[in-house]
Every structure is written in C-alpha cells, then in structure tokens.
Amino acid sequence: METNKQRYKELITKRVSAKGQITKFKNYLNNISKEDELSSIQLTELNLKLAKFEALSVRVDELQNDIEVLNPDNIAAEIDERDNIERDIIINMATAKNLLEMFSRKNESEQRRNSWEEHRNSISSESPSLDQFCKFIINRANVLESTNRNSNNTDNSTPSKTHERGSNNSQQNPNQRRAQNNIVKSFASTNNINNNKHKVPKGFSCIVCDDSHRIYDCPTFKSKNIDERMSDVTRYKLCLNCLRQGHAVKDCRFRSCLEPDCNERHNTLLHRPASSAKQIATVQEPVEVVTNFCNKNTSQILLSTAMVVISNPFDHQRVKVRALLDCGSQSSFITESLKTRLKLSSHPIDTLKVIGIGNTLANNVTESCNIVLQSLHNKFKITCSCLVLKELTGRLPKTPIDTGLLQLPKDVQLADPMFHQPADIDVLIGADLFWDILGNKQITLGVNEPKLRSSQLSWIVSGPIQSSVQRKVVHCNHSSVCRYTNSEDNIGKMLTKFWDLEDIPTRASMNKNECESHFLTHTTRTSTGRFCVKLPLKDTADCLGDSYKLAKRRFIKTENRLKRNRTLKLEYTKFINEYEKLGHLTVLKNDYFNKNTIPSYYLCHHAVLKQESESTKLRVVFDGSAPTTSGCSLNDILMVGPTVQDTLFSILLRSRQYKYLLTGDIEKMYRQRVVKYAGIGLDPFY
C-alpha cells in the first residue's frame, strides 16, 4: 500500500514537470509567432523542439494512464485533467505545424527571388527576354524536384524508432498483439483538430493493421466508411465510445462524440453527420430501416435470418447462403446470382408483378426455379419453387450489432450465428414455407430486446435492439404476387367501361319497369293540375330506425353556422319562410309521429351558399342517404327509376329542326308534386 502511494506521488511530480514543459513550449511558440521571418537555424530549432514535444506527449499519455490506475476513486477528476492536457498538446502541435509551414514558404519565396537575381546578373543583356525567364523556371523546377525525391528516399531508408518498435512487435503472436490493444489510449481519439500520427509506446500495435499506431491514426481504419468501421469495432469487440477493449459502451468513462449537437454515445470516427455540411472524411451511405412491419422507433429491428444450404435438385451442387424468413411475402424468392452459381434451370412463367407496401409495383417476374433447402444443423430438407429476382433486399442488418449488449444463452444453437454482421440475402422464405419452418418455443431476452424462436433451421433471432444510428426511412419487405396485365390491357378495359356507360340500353332493367308500372298505377292529377304521386318503395318502411336524433344534431350544426355567418342566416331564413308561404311545408309537433306510431324518416338538410351565383345564391340540400339507427336510409328502400329528361346532346340536336325556339325555366319543378304517404311519414325534415 505504501509503495502505491509513493509511486502515485512520483507520477504526480512527473506530471507537474511535464505540464511545465508544455507551458514552456507554448510560450516559445508565442514568441516566434511574433517574428516576421525565421532563419534556417531557427527553423531547425523549431523542428527539433516539435519532435521533442511529440515524444513528451507520449510520455504524458503513459503517465496519465498509470495515475488513473492508481487513483480509481477520483477517476472523474483524472479524466478532466487528461482532457485539459490533451487539449493543450493538440493546440501546441497544431500551432507549431502551422508556423513551420508558414515560415518555410516565406524562406522558399526569398530563396527563389535570390536565385533569380543571381541568374539575372549573370546574363549579359540588361533586360532578360521571356525565353530566358522560362528556361530559368524550368531549370529551377528540375532542381527542386530532384531535391524532394532525394529527401523522400532518405526518409524512407532511415528507420525511425517507431518503425523499430513496430518490427519488434511483429515478432509477437496475434493474440499478444490483440491483448495489448486493451491499452489503446484515448488521446485525440475523438478529436479531429489535426491528423498527426503520434508516437506510441514500445510493443504497441494497431488491432486493424498490426502497424505501430493507434486505431484512430490507422489509415486503413480511417479510409473505411462508417458501416465498415462499425463492423471492425464489432469484430474486435471494441467500445463504441473510446475504441478500447475490455468494456461495453454503457460502462465507458470517457467523453462521447465531440460533433456539435450530437449526444450519442459513440466515437467521433463513428459519427454519422445529419447533413452534408457536417460530413467527415468518409462518405455517408443512405440510412434506412428494413422491417416486415412499419416501426417508428429509432431502435434497429433485427429480422429473422438463417444460414441454409441451397442445392441444385439435379446435379446436387450445394452452396451456403443467408436466408430471410418473411411471413409478409406470398411467395419465396432467390436472386439471379444464386441461380447462376448453382446453374439452376429456370422455368418461364407468365409475367407476374410483385406488389409491395402501398400497393406499389416493385418488380416483374418472368421465371421460377426449383431448389432444395436444407438446414445446417439437422436433417430438415424441403424442395420448393422460388421466383427469381435480380435483388431481394439490402444487406441485413443495416449496421453491425454489438452482441455484448445481448445476453444470449450459451447452450442455444443459432440458425444464423453471424446475425449481427451485415451480409447479402440470397433467399427469401415466404409464407408458403414460413409456418412449416417456424417452431413453437420462444426465449425472451428482456424488455425491448430481441426474441429467440425455435425453428426447423435452429433458433432464429428477431426483434428490437438499441442502435446509435437514427433511422429516417422505413422500408417494408411485404410482397404480393399477382398476374400481370400490361397498360394496353388496362386502357382497353377502361375504354370498354366508358363505352358501356355511354351506350343506349336495348332493354330497360326490371327496376325501371317496376318504377314505370308504379307510376302508371298510383299517379293522379289534382284539380289544380298538380301531379299526386306515391314514393316507389322496394320494401316496407318498417326497416327504418330512428332518424330524429341525427337530423337534430345536423340542424344544430347548421344553426351554429348561421350564428357565425349573417349573410347565410338571412338567405336561409328567407328560404324557409318562402317554403312555408308557398305551402311546400307544414309545421308538425315534436310528438306527431310518436302519437301516430307510423314509420317515419326525418330528412337531414344543410345550406350551401354561393355568392358568385347570379340567380340562386343559397341552395338547401336534403340528404336522403343519411342512415338511421338500423343502418338503413330512405334511399335504400326506394326504387331507382329511369331518367325522364333527354340528354342535353339530344335536346340540342332536336332544337335544330325548328325555325323558332322558345326557352323557359320551370321554377321549383320537383316541388310542384303532391305526395301520397299511405300511412307513413317519409318527407319531414328537421
């Protein structure tokens, strides 16, 4: 215990000394930044100091790691101390690099001017020609190119201490190298201020390429896109936040992503920008969720996948592929690439169209193949016919899954052991086989966690899982297969319906004949010349339910409209008064139909106001289709008679036969008849 305390004090003393050197280097940079130019000696001095500072940064990193191990009770304060030191180191190194580049350019410009002046003095003529100047530029460029080439060769032929350490490390076995990655430092792991490669401790190697650098300095890792980086993180079981081994992201003690407005627990190198303005070096790929059922959660949905053996039923050639179990598809499918690999013989079929979610046409299918599907883990085997498509769906899952977050049973044989890694789908098992394959046993991993379901192919994994990637698109694999009819056939059918609609029938329908017979039997004329008619009923009015409450409710809505619109109220009041004045309505008491106990139907009505109309600004519409409590309306029990007026086209043609025409408008034509109710009340309105 005393030894640890003494060691801790020594480390603190060394850290204080290192911080003093950092401050000293910062002051040195501030002083030389005030200079207009630096001599070659000063530039050399700056280069040497920068190299020493890089070595200092590595020592400070190692010191801080040891301090954090010896002081676990105050780890939060130590992490803050690390952040402050790293920020100062990064700023100082970036400043030194910028100063070197700036002063080097100034010196090169001065050297070029001096070279030209020397060359100009050697020319006999007072004013050099353009050709002489061009020759000087070409010669100077050749000299600089040769110098740079020699410098690069010298750098490559002189191994640095870092390379020596990497070569020594290469003699170790892979397990040792991966174990050493447990001490990956978080220095600049989430900071994109500069892309400098820092020196690493002796014996350290990158887990991705086995070179002597940290994973966030690895050119191989940084050249990959986000999905490939996520795949590496999952493969090597690294923390999503600090890119270290040995713990999950939920237990990570380091800072999260440094991108603005990002609160996700992941490393900056794994950040997916929300817009093109925030993109990092790699190109962001489209983000989408693939699910059998529409899901609005941001969590990723694992679909049921299984590794199966597909074989040619004739020559028994076999291949292992990933299959998607989709009960939302009416048929099973395979890809064209799988058909080519197995040399399957296809059968031409009548063109089928595959319809997806939203009743949209996705693909046309013209061929099918017979395959033998077999489990990898038991003797289950089935022969089936599959439709052939160029592509079934995208790679599933869309992003790698951290299996460390799942508590999978160790004694369970998974149908797809690599379900967490994105891979292509070559077979889609539809509802024609799905329920024959699915078992009845289920294991739940927890709330909002995937479920394991037994099947003939072993246990399949499916369900929601937490993901750091937000989903912006919902995609559904549902597919329906039906016979294909081309556009010409559809147009032909539409034209046929159009001509049938316009065609003059050769014989009246039974309903129209009954209406005509009813009219001849029950229609009379009064002494004033009005027609007295009876409503043509299909059946008795006993099927009508209560219509009073609905009519009253709609009338209250009309009254509310009248209160808000004064013009509408005036026109409506005028219409009702005229209706009563002409004798077209009679005011009834509320209990009239209750006392008489006869079937009745209250007509709902509403007012329609058209200010632009020149003749009738207000029109009252009576709704005979409003259902009663029994679901039956007035229009449901009335027969539909023939159209008594000629078409406008016929009237115009006939009018051309006469020399003189007399036109007129019969006002309120349909209100000029008298209705015989025969013991029922079918025309009152509320």
Cα 306 to Cα 334, 460, 545, distances in angstroms:
14, 7, 58
Query: Residue 86: what pLDDT?
Result: 83
Q: Kindly state whether residues 312 and 415 are assigned to the same domain.
A: yes
C-alpha 242, offset from chain centre: 27
Query: Residue 280: what pLDDT?
Result: 38
Closest residue by Cα to residue 197 from 167, 216, 217: 217
**pLDDT per residue over 581-598, tens digit each?**
888 888 877 666 555 566
DSSP letter at 647?
A: P
pLDDT grade for 295, boundaries at 50, 70 and 90? very low
How confident is the model over 318-332, as a mean pLDDT?
89
Does residue 339 belong to any structural domain of this protein? yes
Does residue 142 belong to any structural domain of this protein? no
Count CA within 13 A, CB hemisphere, residue 405.
20
Residue matched to tokens 């890694």:
421
Other Cβ atoms closer than 10 A to 548: 17
Inter-residue contact 227 to 399 (CB < 8 Å): yes
Domain that holds residue 209: 163-278
Q: Kindly state whether residues 344 and 440 are assigned to the same domain.
A: yes
Q: Kindly state whether residues 216 and 312 are assigned to the same domain.
A: no
Q: Give the three-class secondary structure for 373.
A: strand
pLDDT grade for 151, boundaries at 50, 70 and 90? very low
Q: Kindly state whether residues 190 and 69 are assigned to the same domain.
A: no
Distance of alpha carbon 242 from alpha carbon 216, whole angstroms: 10
Query: Residue 129: what pLDDT?
Result: 64
Inter-residue contact 66 to 163 (CB < 8 Å): no
Query: Residue 119: what pLDDT?
Result: 63
460: domain CATH number?
2.40.70.10
pLDDT grade for 5, boundaries at 50, 70 and 90? confident
Kindly tell me the burial class for residue 167, based on how many C-beta atoms sit within 10 Å of its own C-beta (0-12, 13-18, 19 or more). exposed
Residue 515 pLDDT > 80 = yes
Distance of alpha carbon 684 from alpha carbon 673, whole angstroms: 15
Last residue of a domain, one of 278, 309, 343: 278
Cα 204 to Cα 27, 46, 172, 208, 236, distances in angstroms:
32, 28, 11, 12, 16
How confident is the model over 426-438, as a mean pLDDT?
90
The CA-based dihedral angle spanning residues 241, 244, 248, 251, taken in that order and rounded to the nearest 10 degrees: -70
Give all strands (DSSP E) within 523-658, no chain letters.
Answer: 524-525, 531-534, 604-609, 618-623
Q: Give the three-class secondary structure for 261.
A: coil
Least confident segment among 231-245, 351-365, 669-683: 669-683
Least confident segment among 349-363, 370-384, 434-448, 461-475: 461-475
Token pair for 266: 């992941």
C-alpha 363, offset from chain centre: 21
The partner residues of 347 in beta bridges, in order of sequence, read 368
pTM: 0.33
Cα 429 to Cα 304, 325, 344, 439, 461, distances in angstroms:
10, 5, 18, 15, 15
Q: Kindly state whether residues 186 and 271 are assigned to the same domain.
A: yes
Pick left, alpha or beta for residue 631 (phi over 0 → left; psi -120 to 50 → alpha; otherwise beta): left
The CA-based dihedral angle spanning residues 630, 633, 637, 640, taken in that order and rounded to the nearest 10 degrees: -160
Share of the chain above pLDDT 90, in %: 7
Does residue 310 belong to any structural domain of this protein? yes
How confident is the model over 461-475, as a mean pLDDT?
65
Does residue 505 belong to any structural domain of this protein? no
Residue 360 pLDDT > 90 = no
C-alpha 164, offset from chain centre: 48
**pLDDT per residue over 487-501, tens digit each?**
555 676 777 777 776
For CA atoms 105, 110, 115, 120, the dihedral sign is: positive
Distance of alpha carbon 11 from alpha carbon 16, whole angstroms: 9
Does residue 38 belong to any structural domain of this protein? yes
Q: What is the average pLDDT value for the chain, to the nearest integer? A: 74
**pLDDT per residue over 633-682, tens digit each?**
888 888 887 777 788 888 888 889 988 988 887 777 777 778 876 545 56
Q: Kindly state whether residues 305 and 438 are assigned to the same domain.
A: yes
Q: Kindly state whether residues 103 and 46 are assigned to the same domain.
A: yes
How confident is the model over 43-70, as a mean pLDDT?
80
Q: What are phi and psi of 471, to 5 degrees?
A: -105, 130
**pLDDT per residue over 387-403, tens digit each?**
998 888 888 888 788 77
How confident is the model over 237-241, as a mean pLDDT?
82
Does residue 136 belong to any structural domain of this protein? no
Q: Kindly state whether residues 421 and 299 are assigned to the same domain.
A: yes
Q: Which of 63-77, 278-292, 444-458, 466-480 has the highest mean pLDDT?
A: 444-458
Residue of 549 and 351 predicted with greater confidence: 549
Token pair for 62: 């190692």
Query: Residue 591: what pLDDT?
Result: 64
Residue of 286 and 274 predicted with greater confidence: 274
Pick left, alpha or beta for residue 92 (phi over 0 → left; psi -120 to 50 → alpha; otherwise beta): alpha
Q: Kindly state whether residues 222 and 303 are assigned to the same domain.
A: no
Residue of 335 and 189 predicted with greater confidence: 335
Last residue of a domain, one of 218, 244, 278: 278
Closest residue by Cα to residue 399 from 249, 478, 286, 259: 286
Does residue 263 belong to any structural domain of this protein? yes
Query: Residue 199: what pLDDT?
Result: 46
Residue 468 pLDDT > 80 = no
Distance of alpha carbon 60 from alpha carbon 81, whole angstroms: 11
pLDDT grade for 89, boundaries at 50, 70 and 90? confident
Inter-residue contact 232 to 246 (CB < 8 Å): no
Last residue of a domain, one of 89, 117, 145: 117
pLDDT grade for 157, boundaries at 50, 70 and 90? very low
Residue of 122 and 387 predicted with greater confidence: 387
Query: Residue 501: what pLDDT?
Result: 67
How confident is the model over 233-255, as a mean pLDDT?
78
Q: Kindly state whether residues 466 and 395 are assigned to the same domain.
A: yes
Q: Kindly state whether residues 103 and 170 are assigned to the same domain.
A: no
Does residue 324 belong to any structural domain of this protein? yes
Token pair for 406: 């799942």
**pLDDT per residue over 171-202, tens digit each?**
344 344 333 333 333 333 333 333 344 445 54
Q: Kindly state whether residues 433 and 546 are assigned to the same domain.
A: no
Contacts of 118 (CB under 8 A, 6+ apart): none
Q: Give the three-class secondary structure for 603.
A: strand
Residue of 444 and 98 predicted with greater confidence: 444
**pLDDT per residue over 308-321, tens digit each?**
999 988 888 889 99
Token pair for 126: 């007072």
Q: Which of 82-91, 133-142, 210-219 has the highest mean pLDDT?
A: 82-91
Q: Could you give the number of structural domains in the chain?
A: 4
DSSP letter at 469?
A: S
Residue of 524 and 44 predicted with greater confidence: 524
